[in-house]
Structure 1
């Protein structure tokens, strides 16, 4: 997008104001495998610590892995590397929301996959008011 839009836009990542002033006095607590950085500092009105994520790239909440989502929403108290068990070999990595991309799920009858639906099997009988 260019350096000229960074001070004014939030949808392309953190603006300069967020990085210079918004996170002043906040502690950096970790980074995930996607490059998102997590901060903690201050308290909210209920007395819970405030937590933030600064996205690497576009601001898309589906790009936060499940373990860090749990930390952001106070489901776990400590950072995921300390509070959660290690990742099991059979677990798949989390994927961001793929809607609107070429990798999005499309059922067999979708126009993007040729638009050909499976033939009816003959077990359907239409409802009629007389029947």
Structure 2
């Protein structure tokens, strides 16, 4: 319970959730469990502010393309009213794995703990004295 009071990266804090629910309407939820809200009253600029409350760790790469377009005012209607048409060449979402143990590490990388290829390991630096 303490993490919901003090940490924002675990999805939401109690204060943020209270504030969003007090002045916003629930719009929808995506396949990953993220919940989307929109303010009831327009802001000074005349637009209704839009929010996402992440399920789990707050990772923006977990927002699908159709909801991303709605959050950034590319689409007026949320995907619950007008879903984005999926093309045949589109693949399922993959999260950003940079900085995790599942991040891509090419062969020969220092973090991969494998022996380097012989062509890479026989390099001798040039020296002006030689």
TM over 0.5: yes
Residue by residue over 1:2-36, the C-alpha shift from the partner in whole angstroms, topping out at 9 and shown as x without a partner, is x1232122121211112223321311111111100
Query: Which structure 1 residue ranges, 5 or more long, are not aligned?
Result: 121-131
Alpha-carbon shift at residue 115 of structure 1 (Å) = 5.0
SS in 1 for 2:28: strand
* Match of residue 44 from structure 1: 43
C-alpha RMSD of the superposition: 2.3
* Match of residue 72 from structure 1: 71
More helix by share: 2
Shift in CA distance, 105/48, structure 1 to aligned 2, threshold 3 Å: same
SS in 1 for 2:10: coil
4+ long deviations beyond 3 Å: none
C-alpha separation in 1, matches of 2:54 and 2:76 = 21
Query: Which structure 2 residue ranges, 5 or more long, are not aligned?
Result: 121-130
